Structure 1
Amino acid sequence: MTGSTKSSRTIDGNVTPWWVRYFDPSDRALAVLLLAPAAVLLAMIIVYPVCRLIYTSFFNLSLTSGLPAEFVGFENFQFMLEDPVFWQTTGNTVLITFVTVPGALVVGLALALMANLPFRRQWPVRLSLLIPWALPLSFAGLIFAWFFHSEYGVVNDVLGRFGVEPIIWFNSPQWAMAAICLTIIWKTSSFMALIILAGLQTIPRSLYEAADVDGAGRIRQFFEITLPLLKPSIVVALIFRTITALQTFDIPYMMTNGGPGTSTATLAMYIHQNTVSFLDLGYGSALAVVMFALSMCVTAVYLRMIRTKG
């Protein structure tokens, strides 16, 4: 009671009118007012669709059957556990994630270090990092589908000049997956490089100068100065790259369409097939819920790493 009385009085002891307090809110009230539009927008474009997706996953809803939606509980998820295509596409998605995320990190780190060198004109090097990132994913998939073509592709032409027999890339599950992973690494390494380059710009130059005075070489400076100070930027890049890797769709779809068979199909492609091609919204929603849960688990692990390091 005392605190509320004090907060409603001015310096000379007079009671502040309610309309003055309304137009001069406290810091907490002002923060709520400013964040309210963003919170409402996020609720409309994120919270509601996710809740609707989870709700639909408990129904048998197929637009081709002509029957009304029927509540089936966890039947879609039980069928998922017995679905071999689900396990294969999930395994392909996990494989792509485990191969392309570290690969993009290593290539992106090398590109960022190169772009951070004291060139006389750095803008052409840094501009070149934007080109792979700016290309649409489907366009990159089409380009590399031509690169890896067995008859007139650039890759087989280069291998033939070194005496290597041409490889029929898209007839073999292993070679097709390798081509997809290489394409994804090329496409996403520039994104990693841009984030890491931003982190490199924040490292004080005085630290390297002090290390030079102490006699530390370039390799020791890299492992004792550069990498430790780049950890926040690397973790942020890994969060975004891992989530997008779990949702991989465009490049495998444009390069192989999941073939041969379903050996290179991803979970996102299987969701697209069930919802768009087969119009089975119930089962497709259940698959999407699993993908959403995987993304949230990965994000939680990375955030826990950041909190532990902090």
Structure 2
Amino acid sequence: MSGAVHSALRLKQRRDWASFMDPSDRALAFWLLAPTAILLLLIIVYPVGRLVWTSLHNLSLTSGLPAEFVGLENFEIMLDDPIFWAALWNTVLITIITVPGALLVGLGLALLANLPFRYRWPVRLSLLVPWALPLSFVGLIFAWFFQSQYGVVNDILMRFGLPRIIWFNSPEWSFTAICLAIIWKTSSFVGLILLAGLQTIPRSLYEAADVDGAGRLRQFFEITLPLLKPAIVVALIFRTITALQTFDIPYTMTRGGPGTSTATLAMYIHQNTVSFLDLGYGSALAVAMFVLSMGVTVIYLRMMGKGH
């Protein structure tokens, strides 16, 4: 009896080892996806969970006191904070202005870079240069461009007989300068994504449209734009999320001034966490930014799903 049981156990072990060495499709998928799932837990789920947990505490490193659980008190303070609402409005306004601006400029650059002429490399190089520059460096460059005394923009205005503008003393002009800098920087990224989408459109469709007598404008609206929609949605998702997290360019150009007229939500988070060392309230602000970014992403994905 014991010999039969021993043989059965050995047979089961062999089968288990064979199934481990030659797993089913479901088991193979599990083992292949397990490292990715663990990586996502480490770099996304845990930091976000830790952020939410910290936002529920009163944790200020300047007080010297241990963290105290306060529930939603930080979020209540946030809703009554006028600086938060001003920074949120500035962030939303930057997003509303720069995302369509970067899309239009990037689409034009992508169409130009996709034209079948011989020397396309300067146009494609112009797409890479702004994208490769660090954000803070772009902010410093444009701060010099719009400098009131010796900036390039005022020099051009004066050559055309127009008055000099003190850009960074006015909330409206400061905001304009920041938006122009962001559009210049981010349109190249959008252009690269759209150029990749244009490369996937078969030339045979345009040749068939030429045979049918369709003009360039009709081809653009009936062939290019519909087939380019997935690339446009991807570009809009990335561009909108980064616009909601805008920090470097406004910070290096105006430091949020004059006053707080150009301060963004990311800058206010930086001020509370790095300057004031109020990790609890800063984490609550970061949670608000995270929820806003995820909400916008869900809207884009739903729009993309309805399109299909």
TM-score category by the smaller chain?
A: over 0.9
Q: How does 1:131-150 map to 2 (within 5 A)?
A: 131-150=129-148
* Offset of residue 127 of structure 1: 1.6
Counterpart AA for 1:144: F
- Deviation per residue, 1:30-75 (Å, 9 max, x gap): 1111111111111111110100000010111000011111111111
Q: Distance in 2 between matches of 1:255 and 1:298?
A: 27
After TM superposition, give the deviation of residue 17 of structure 1 in Å.
Answer: 2.2
Q: 1:187-246: CA deviations, max 9, x gaps?
A: 000000000000000111011111111111111111111111100000000000000000
**2:114 pairs with 1:101:** no
Letter in 2 for 1:174: E
Which amino acid letter does the alignment assign opposite residue 176 of structure 1?
S
Counterpart in 2 of 1:178? 176
TM-score by length of 1: 0.94
Q: Is the 8 A contact 2:109 2:123 kept in 1?
A: no
Aligned to 1:124: 122
**TM-score with structure 2 length normalisation?**
0.95
Deviation at 1:305, TM superposition (A): 1.2
1:8 alignment partner in structure 2: none
Aligned partner of 1:6 in structure 2 is: none
Between the two proteins, what is the percent identity of the paired residues?
78
Offset of residue 18 of structure 1 = 2.2
The equivalent position to 1:33 in structure 2, one of 31, 34, 58, is 31
Q: Distance in 1 between matches of 2:176 and 2:198?
A: 31
Q: Does 1:73 align with 2:76?
A: no
CA deviation map 1:124-172 (0-9, x unaligned): 2212210000000000000000000000000011111111101000000
Q: Give the Cα separation in 2 of the matches to 1:30 and 1:235.
A: 33
2:158 pairs with one of 155, 160, 168: 160
Q: Give the AA of the match of 2:263.
A: A
**What is the distance in 2 between the residues matched to 1:194 and 1:83?**
39
The amino acid that maps onto 1:160 is M
Alpha-carbon shift at residue 308 of structure 1 (Å) = 1.3
Q: Match of 1:244, as an amino acid? A: T
Q: How does 1:1-310 map to 2 (within 5 A)?
A: 17-310=15-308
The amino acid of 1:261's aligned partner reads G
Instruction: Kindly provide the CA deviation profile for residues 93-115 of structure 1, in whole angstroms up to 9, marking residues without a partner as x.
Output: 00000000000000000000000
Distance in 1 of aligned mates of 2:32 and 2:124:
36
Equivalent residue letter for 1:119: F
Alignment correspondent of 1:12: none
- Which deviates further from its counterpart, 259-268 or 29-38? 29-38
How many aligned residue pairs are there? 296
Following superposition, the deviation at residue 123 of structure 1 comes to: 2.1
Name structure 2 gaps, 5 residues minimum.
Answer: 1-13
Q: Distance in 1 between matches of 2:137 and 2:67?
A: 38
Q: Secondary structure at the match of 1:155?
A: helix
Question: Stretches of 4+ moved more than 6 A in 1?
Answer: none
Alpha-carbon shift at residue 121 of structure 1 (Å): 2.4
SS of the aligned residue for 1:210 comes to helix
